[in-house]
Structures are given as structure tokens and as C-alpha cells.
């Protein structure tokens, strides 16, 4: 019998709380935006400076620079993860020995961090990954942790790796930690310089957010042996690496449509997919155009029909590299808390470098 890959535990740190609270709040359309004092924008006819509105994890990240901010978000997500049914104890040495650990980050080779031509991996390993593993307390060698810096599409990329290793029998599980923040000083300055922040003068901009998300993916055999409940089955994944920022949103839309078609082909064959599409739409016109183009092409190919489009950023702000993992949590929450909902959902992402990522999840059982 073919081995399956399943989601058995989740955790989150977000402006709306942990994974259970955040997913329930998202379903209800609740948001908790707050003023961001370190970034001023002008408003009204008088052009009066006021604080930018964003979605911080209040009381957790204020005042911290990029690396320590990522560590705090990831650690808070892992702490929430440990409270959920199905999460293994950090003392279970046997489990962690056979568990791959993957950290998903924004692209560190991007102009956002002014490191496009610099090899940052050694400093990232020493300054973020090693201290993060110490804080988490899991018996894993920091040198063995894989970093996926693929931005919004990073969760799909990480899942490709974890699934391949599980199906090859190299590991029995994979822990994915996805983290990003658009609220550190460097990111805010970059967004402002590129006129991407939502304000009176830029109504189609994004509202900056931040989040840490923790996902545990296991083989069906491992989950059954641990008697862990299954939140969702990973039915299809597609990821294609981007090489440069997409200048044509139409091209991004075509790449995204091809990725959705590939992921759906793994899960449902020729069946028309009618489940929700959980997107990383963030209010920016370019991203809207790409998603709209992808949907149009998928309708033309008769691959989707009547889909609800879910936009977590409307409540959490733009969570960047964490957005794909947020989408996975939203899909799993829908399966668990809405028995009348459909049997499948697709998480659709498009990275800053034009790389599409799609994850198709189905209801367990």
C-alpha cells in the first residue's frame, strides 16, 4: 500500500493568538490591527503624519530586529504547537531522531535585506537557527536543520522535501517552522521605499503583519503507531523555483495556474476541484492580477468551479513566508470544525521571486 503524508499537529503565533484562536477568528472575519509608531504615513487632505496600521504579535516582537524577531515568533508558535493534541514531547528522543526539521524564511537573497550578492547562510545558521533550536529544546542538531528561504511559496517547497524524505523511508516525520515579519525596521523601510504600504496615498498597498507557524507532517504509519489524530492529508504539492522578481503579473498568473493544475493532478485526477482556494492575496494590485489570471486559466481548463477564495491577510495582514503555513492551518481547521464543509482545500502562494507554491489537502478518513 502506498504511504501517505498527514498533518498531525499545528501551532501558531499571530496577531489573533494561537492556532485555534486565530483560525476561529479568521473564520469570523475578526482582525486586531494596531498602530505601528516607528513608521509614519500621511493621511487626509491636510497630509497629517499618523502611525501606519499593521498586525503585530502584540507584546512579543516590539523592539526586536530581524533575527531575534524570527526566533521569538518561531518559539511562540512551537509553544502553542506543544499544547495541541498529537504534538510529541521534546523528550521523545526516538521520534526526533527520525524527524526532519525545516525552517521556512523570506528570501534572504532579496533586496529587502540588502543581501542579494552575499552568502548569508553561515551567519543565518549561527545567528538564527542554532539559537532557535536551543530555545525550542528539541534533541536535534542545528547543523541538520534545513533552511528554505523561498518566501510565500516556502511552505510548499518545504513540504516537497519532507514528503520525498518520508516516502523514501529516510525519516518518519517533518517539523516545518515558517516565520516572517514585515514589521521590523528594515522591512518597513523597504516596503515604504517601494510604495507598497497601505495608506491614504496607496490604497492598494499591503498591511504589514507577522506570524510564526509550526506544522508536523508524518507518514500515515507513524501517526497510526503514535495514535495521533490526523488533521488533514497532504494530497498534492507543487513548487517551482523563481529566479527573479516577476515583472509580468500575467506570467506569474500562468505559473501559478500550472502549479495548481499539477497539485490537483496528484490528488484528484480529472475531477473538477470545487474546494476553497486559500490565497496569499495581500491587497496589492499586482498580486490580485496574478491570482485572477490563474483563476481564469484554471476555469478555462475546467479544473476548478465555484470555489470560495479565502484571504487570511484580511485579518492577519501580510505574513510573508509564514502565509503558506497559515493557509494549511486554516484548511485543517475547516476540516475539523466544519463537518459540512468540502473534502478538500488548496493553499495557493506566489513568492516575491515569481515562484508558485500549491498545497492540496484533503479531509482525513
| Burial (CB count within 10 angstroms: exposed 0-12, middle 13-18, buried 19+), residue 160 | middle
Q: Compute the mean pLDDT over every residue in the chain, rounded to the nearest whole number.
A: 91
pLDDT tier at 288 (50, 70, 90 boundaries)? Answer: very high
Q: What is the mean pLDDT of residues 305-309?
A: 91
Average pLDDT value for residue range 293-319: 94
Q: Where in the chain is the domain with CATH 3.40.47.10?
A: 5-225, 235-362
Residue 92 CB neighbours (<10 A): 13
The domain 5-225 having CATH identifier 3.40.47.10: the answer here is yes
* Burial of 59 per CB tally in 10 Å (0-12, 13-18, 19+): exposed
Residue by residue, what is the 3-state secondary structure of 29-75? Answer: CCCCCEEEEEEEEEECCCCEEEEEEEECCCCCCCCCCHHHHHHHHHH
Q: Which fold has domain 235-362?
A: Peroxisomal Thiolase; Chain A, domain 1 (3.40.47)
> CA-CA distance, 343 to 335, in Å (whole number)?
7
Question: In the chain, pLDDT over 90 holds for what percent of residues?
Answer: 77
Nearest one of 255, 237, 206, 238 to 354, comparing CA atoms: 255
Instruction: Tell me the pLDDT tens digit for each residue of 223-270.
Output: 999 999 999 999 999 999 876 544 566 788 999 999 999 999 876 555
- The model carries a pTM of 0.95
Does 108 have pLDDT greater than 60?
Answer: yes
Amino acid at each position: 500500500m502506498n504511504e501517505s503524508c498527514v498533518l498531525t499537529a499545528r501551532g501558531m503565533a499571530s496577531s489573533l493568538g494561537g492556532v485555534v484562536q486565530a483560525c476561529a477568528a479568521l473564520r469570523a472575519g475578526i482582525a486586531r490591527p494596531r498602530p505601528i509608531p516607528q513608521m509614519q504615513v500621511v493621511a487626509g487632505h491636510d497630509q497629517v503624519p499618523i502611525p501606519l496600521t499593521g498586525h503585530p504579535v502584540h507584546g512579543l516582537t516590539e523592539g526586536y530586529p530581524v533575527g531575534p524577531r524570527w526566533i521569538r515568533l518561531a518559539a511562540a508558535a512551537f509553544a502553542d504547537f506543544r499544547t495541541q493534541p498529537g504534538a510529541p514531547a521534546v523528550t521523545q528522543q526516538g521520534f526526533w531522531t527520525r524527524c526532519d526539521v525545516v525552517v521556512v524564511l523570506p528570501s534572504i537573497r532579496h533586496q529587502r535585506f540588502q543581501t542579494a550578492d552575499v552568502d548569508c547562510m553561515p551567519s543565518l545558521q549561527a545567528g538564527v537557527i542554532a539559537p532557535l533550536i536551543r530555545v525550542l529544546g528539541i534533541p536535534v542538531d542545528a547543523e541538520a536543520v534545513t533552511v528554505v528561504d523561498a518566501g510565500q511559496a516556502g511552505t510548499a517547497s518545504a513540504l516537497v522535501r519532507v514528503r520525498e524524505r518520508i516516502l523514501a523511508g529516510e525519516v518518519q516525520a517533518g517539523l516545518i517552522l515558517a516565520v516572517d515579519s514585515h514589521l521590523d525596521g528594515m522591512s518597513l523601510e523597504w516596503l515604504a521605499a517601494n510604495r507598497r504600504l497601505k495608506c491614504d496615498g496607496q490604497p492598494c498597498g499591503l498591511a504589514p503583519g507577522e506570524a510564526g507557524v509550526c506544522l508536523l507532517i508524518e507518514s500515515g504509519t507513524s501517526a497510526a503507531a503514535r495514535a495521533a489524530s490526523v488533521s488533514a492529508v497532504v494530497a498534492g504539492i507543487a513548487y517551482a523555483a523563481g529566479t527573479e522578481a516577476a515583472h509580468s503579473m500575467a506570467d506569474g498568473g500562468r505559473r501559478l495556474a500550472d502549479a495548481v493544475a499539477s497539485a490537483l493532478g496528484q490528488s484528484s485526477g480529472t475531477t473538477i476541484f470545487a474546494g476553497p482556494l486559500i490565497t496569499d492575496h495581500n491587497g496589492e494590485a499586482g498580486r490580485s492580477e496574478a491570482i485572477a489570471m490563474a483563476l481564469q486559466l484554471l476555469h478555462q481548463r475546467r479544473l476548478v468551479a465555484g470555489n470560495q477564495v479565502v484571504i487570511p491577510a484580511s485579518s492577519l495582514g501580510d505574513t510573508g513566508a509564514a502565509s503558506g503555513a497559515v493557509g494549511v492551518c486554516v484548511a485543517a481547521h475547516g476540516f475539523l470544525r466544519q463537518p459540512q464543509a468540502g473534502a478538500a482545500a488548496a493553499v495557493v502562494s506566489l513568492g516575491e521571486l515569481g515562484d508558485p507554491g500549491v498545497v492540496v489537502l484533503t479531509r482525513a478518513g
